[in-house]
């Protein structure tokens, strides 16, 4: 099963379609700037369902088939391709006109279409217009000249510019992968899921590829990414943009004027953007550039820390409980005890102490794993498996 099978049912996409549908049905026109690598044709198909349910009439206008005469006309009927009988009913019901294939037109025509969009309310300022426009523009086709037109203020224009980026989120992508699990969420599965979520963010194609490969070591991960780059003929010429790249921070608002380069890099998969991480260099781009800044190691460490640190804290809490119950005359402030404190306490016990023999060596290993993560160093899958087994062992004692 492909991860794309259920992507359109994700909360973020359903909410987006609902919001845009509401804008359009209320007569608010929308410029939809598409900068993610999902098929917007399917998005429009599903959006039309929402609009129809809201009682809107719907007209798709394929701009590739529109004559130059219609685009240069000042008549609404000409531009929309409406015969006189339809124009008579133009204002009677909510109507949405979807302009598709914007990128197929010449630059001159594109500028005229944006001017038409900007003047939509101005042309009809004396009429209670209930019709709205939706114009889909792939970000690849945007230039500073396009933006200067969109930036112009028009007195009575009702419109919104929606920039589609960061969909699906990292968490949603992770949830999409859950059906790939064969039954129980094993330690091996949890390890792989955490790494893929951190590495791939919302690149579903790369996620699917990595699920089929060995990710047991940083070397095997990098080899898989290298193979994926060769398989997909990753374009090296995109990477020159990274020299002037300033990433969109996590939680920052996206400004089309300020972040045009960023959006183009996201569309080309040179970078990735998610609400959780902000904008980051795509892992395959890291490989193609030699990862001189160590981004990949950071992504790997981040994925491991997601699952390792909670287990270590669980071990710490359970070990405190075990020691409290079995060693009454202790000198440890258990409310503040860390793993190293527990190790030191067990080391101070008699060499033949039962508790020392059972737990000290394993707890020292847990401490070593914790120190690796604390110093931003990745751990091995064998260390992860040990950690899960030791945690299970302690849980059985409580």
CATH classification of the domain holding 54:
3.40.50.12060
Is 336 found in the same domain as 218? no
Is 129 found in the same domain as 21? yes
Torsion of CA 58, 146, 247, 201, to 10 degrees: 20
Is 157 found in the same domain as 9? yes
User: Into how many domains does the chain fold?
Assistant: 3
pLDDT of residue 116: 83
CA–CA separation, 239 vs 396, rounded Å?
A: 52
Domain that holds residue 19: 3-164
Residues of the chain with pLDDT under 70: 1-5, 74-77, 81-94, 121-130, 152-158, 179-184, 235-238, 292, 328-333, 397-398
Is 147 found in the same domain as 175? no
pLDDT of residue 325: 79
In a domain, 111, yes or no: yes
* Domain-terminating residue out of 148, 164, 180: 164
CA–CA separation, 63 vs 67, rounded Å?
A: 8
Three-state DSSP state, 65:
helix
Helix extents (H) in 348-380: 354-374
In a domain, 299, yes or no: no
Is 334 found in the same domain as 227? no
Nearest to 173 by CA among 3, 24, 38, 330: 3
Is 341 found in the same domain as 203? no
- Specify the pTM: 0.84
pLDDT of residue 292: 60
pLDDT of residue 76: 67
Is 379 found in the same domain as 245? no
Phi, psi of 122 (to 5 degrees): -65, -40
Tokens of 314: 């669980």
pLDDT of residue 198: 95
Is 228 found in the same domain as 127? no
DSSP state of 151: H
* Domain-terminating residue out of 164, 190, 212: 164
* Domain-terminating residue out of 258, 293, 328: 293
Three-state DSSP state, 161:
strand
Is 321 found in the same domain as 285? no
């Amino acid at each position: 099963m492909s991860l794309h099978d259920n992507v359109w049912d994700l909360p973020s996409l359903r909410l987006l379609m609902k919001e845009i549908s509401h804008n359009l049905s209320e007569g608010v026109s929308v410029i939809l700037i598409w900068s993610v690598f999902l098929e917007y044709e399917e998005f429009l198909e599903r959006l039309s369902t929402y609009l129809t349910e809201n009682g809107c009439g719907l007209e798709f206008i394929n701009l590739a088939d529109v004559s130059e005469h219609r685009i240069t006309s000042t008549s609404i009927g000409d531009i929309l391709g409406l015969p006189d009988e339809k124009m008579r009913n133009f204002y009677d019901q909510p109507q949405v006109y979807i302009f598709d294939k914007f990128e197929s037109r010449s630059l001159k025509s594109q500028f005229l279409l944006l001017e038409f969009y900007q003047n939509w309310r101005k042309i009809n300022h004396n009429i209670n217009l209930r019709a709205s426009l939706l114009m889909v523009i792939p970000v690849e086709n945007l230039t500073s000249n396009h933006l200067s037109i969109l930036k112009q203020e028009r007195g009575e224009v009702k419109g919104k510019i929606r920039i589609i980026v960061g969909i699906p989120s990292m968490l949603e992508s992770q949830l999409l992968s859950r059906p790939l699990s064969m039954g129980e969420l094993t330690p091996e599965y949890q390890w792989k899921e955490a790494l893929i979520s951190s590495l791939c963010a919302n690149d579903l194609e790369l996620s699917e590829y990595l699920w089929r490969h060995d990710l047991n070591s940083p070397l095997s991960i990098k080899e898989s990414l290298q193979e994926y780059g060769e398989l997909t003929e990753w374009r090296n010429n995109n990477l020159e943009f990274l020299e002037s790249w300033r990433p969109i921070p996590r939680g920052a608002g996206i400004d089309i004027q300020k972040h045009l380069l960023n959006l183009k890099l996201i569309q080309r998969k040179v970078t990735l953007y998610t609400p959780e991480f902000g904008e980051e260099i795509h892992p395959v781009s890291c490989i193609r550039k030699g990862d001189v800044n160590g981004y990949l190691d950071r992504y790997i460490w981040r994925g491991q820390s997601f699952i390792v640190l909670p287990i270590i804290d669980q071990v710490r809490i359970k070990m405190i409980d075990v020691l409290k119950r079995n060693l009454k005359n202790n000198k440890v402030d258990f409310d503040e005890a860390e793993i190293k404190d527990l190790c030191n306490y067990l080391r101070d016990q008699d060499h033949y102490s039962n508790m020392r023999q059972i737990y000290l060596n394993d707890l020292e290993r847990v401490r070593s794993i914790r120190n690796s993560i604390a110093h931003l160093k990745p751990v091995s899958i064998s260390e992860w498996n040990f950690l899960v087994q030791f945690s299970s062992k302690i849980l059985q004692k409580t």
